[in-house]
Amino acid sequence: MLKGKTVVLGVCGGIAAYKAAALCSKLAQAGANVRVIMTESAVKFVAPLTFQTLSRHDVAVDTFDEKDASVVSHINLADSADLVIVAPATANMIAKMALGLGDDMLSTTLLATEAPIFLAPAMNVHMYAHPAVQHNMNILAQRGVRFIEPGTGQLACGYVGKGRLAEPEQIMLEVSGFFAEKKLLQGKKVLVTAGGTVERIDPVRYLTNDSSGKMGYAIAAQAKRMGADVVLVSGKTTERVPDGVEFVTVESALDMYEAVLSRFEQTDIVIKAAAVADYRPAEQAPQKLKKNNDELTITFVKNPDILQTLGQKKHGQFLVGFAAETERVEEYAMGKLRKKNCDLVVANDVSADGAGFGTDTNIVRIYDAQGLALQLPIMSKTDVATRILTLVASRLGSNKGAG
C-alpha cells in the first residue's frame, strides 16, 4: 500500500522522537518515499543525520535553508505529500495547528499541504488531559485531521498514564489502513441523507429538530475519500459541503422522500443519517398566522417513512439506518432494523455526554440481524464515519439483510 507514496514525517521535540526514527525506517522499508521535517527542538533529541540516513533524503529543519533554488521547500514538500504524519506531535505543535500558526518549517508545511494529516500525540498525562489540549485536538478533528491515540503506561517524566507515543508498528497499521481504505468503496454509488427536515406552519414559522448534520456530512466526506460516487441529500444544516460530492438540498420530509426515491435504483448503498420529521402540519397557512386567539390548534398528518419504503423496495442495495434514542437503545434499534428491513442500524443515546446532535464526537453501537455488531467508544464523527463505512464495505459481498 505504501510503495511509491510520498510520506512527509514531521518530528517534534520530545523524548519520543527516538521512536520516530524507527517509524521512518519502517516507512522506507515499506517502499514509501519519506521526507522528514524536524523542529528545532526535535534536533536536541535526535540528530538530523539519523533521519537522513534512514530516509536517504535531506532533512528539513530551517524554513530559510533553501537547498534547491527552483522550488520553495515547504511548498514543494506540502504539494508532493500523499500523507503527512506528525510523530511525536507535541502540545505546542497541536496548538499551532489549531490556531493556524506557521512559524517554522513544519508548521508552515502543515498549513500549505492539502494531503491528509495524521497526528500521533506524545506528552505528559496531565498535559494530554488539559482542556486546552483537548479543545485544540477537537478543533483539528473537525477539520479532518486524524489522530493515532497515545498509549498508556510509564512515561519518561515518571508518571504512569496516557501519553506515550503509539508504537511504530501501530502507526504503520494506521497508515497502511488509510491507504487501503481509499479503495474500499471504489466504484460504488453511495447516497447519504443528513441534517434535519423543516415542516412549515406558515411562511415564517416551521417545526424542526436539533440535528446538526455533522454525522451525515462526515459519512459523505469519508465515503468520497474511500472511492465512492456520493450523493448527499441534505436538510437544514450549517455544515460545509464535502468536496467532490453531488449535493441535493431539500427542506421537508416530502422533499427528501422524493429526492431519495428518485435516485434509489441507481444506488448501491444508502445511509440514512438525516433526522426526518415524523409528522407535518395538515395545512400550511399561505400568510403569517396572527396572534388572534389565546390558543392555536394545528392538525398534523404522518409523513411517509423513507427508511421503511427503501427497505420494502430494495433488491440488493445495502441499507443503513440511524436510531437516535434516549432510552432502551438496543431494543429500539433492533426493532427498527427488523421493521424497516435494514442491513445495519447505527444507534446512539443522544442524551449521553459527547454523543448526539450538535457535537463533534459520537458514541455509537451498530446492530445487524444477529444483534450488536460493533460498539465504538467516544470518538470524532469523522472516525465514526470511517468505522461505519469500513463495516459496510466488509458486508457488501454477502449483504445478508438484502431484500
Residues placed in the known binding site for CTP = 278, 288, 304-307, 322, 336, 340
Annotated binding site: 278, 288, 304-307, 322, 336, 340
Name residue, grid cell 411562511.
203
Residue 167 grid coordinates:
508504537
Helices then strands, each counted (H, E), the chain: 13, 21
Q: How far apart are CA 302 and CA 314, in angstroms?
A: 23
Residue 44: its pLDDT value, please? 96
Helix (H) or strand (E) holding 319: strand 318-325
Contact 176, 2 (CB under 8 A): yes
Report the interhelical angle of 105-112 vs 73-80 (nearest 10°): 50
Instruction: Write the DSSP symbol of residue 403.
Output: -
Q: From CA 357, how far away is CA 363, in angstroms rounded?
A: 11
Stretches where the chain sits below pLDDT 50 are 400-403
Element housing 395 (H / E): helix 381-395
pLDDT the model gives residue 243? 84
* Residue 138 CB partners (closer than 8 Å, separation 6+): 360, 361, 380
pLDDT at position 397: 65
Query: Residue 196 has what DSSP assignment?
Result: B
| Predicted local distance difference test score (pLDDT) of residue 149 | 87
> Which residue is it, cell 400568510?
287
362 strand-pairing partners: 379
CA pair distance 213, 34, nearest whole angstrom? 37
Q: How many CB atoms lie within 10 A of CB 246?
A: 14
CB atoms within 10 A of CB 390: 18
Instruction: Mark out the alpha helices in 88-167 (DSSP H runs).
Output: 91-99, 105-112, 125-129, 131-142
334 neighbors 370 (Cβ within 8 angstroms): no
DSSP conformation class of 195: S
The strand pair at 205-207 and 199-202 is best described as antiparallel
b/e code 136-151 from CB counts within 10 Å (16+ = b): bbebbbbeebbbbebe
Q: What is the dihedral of CA 235, 238, 242, 244, to 10 degrees?
A: 60
8 Å CB contact between 328 and 309: no
What is the reported pLDDT for 401? 42
Please state, in angstroms and rounded to a whole number, the distance separating the CA atoms of residues 226 and 180: 9
Which domains does the chain show, CATH number per domain? 6-181 (3.40.50.1950), 189-395 (3.40.50.10300)
Catalytic residue ranges: 157
- Scanning the structure block, which residue is given the C-alpha cell 505546542? 92
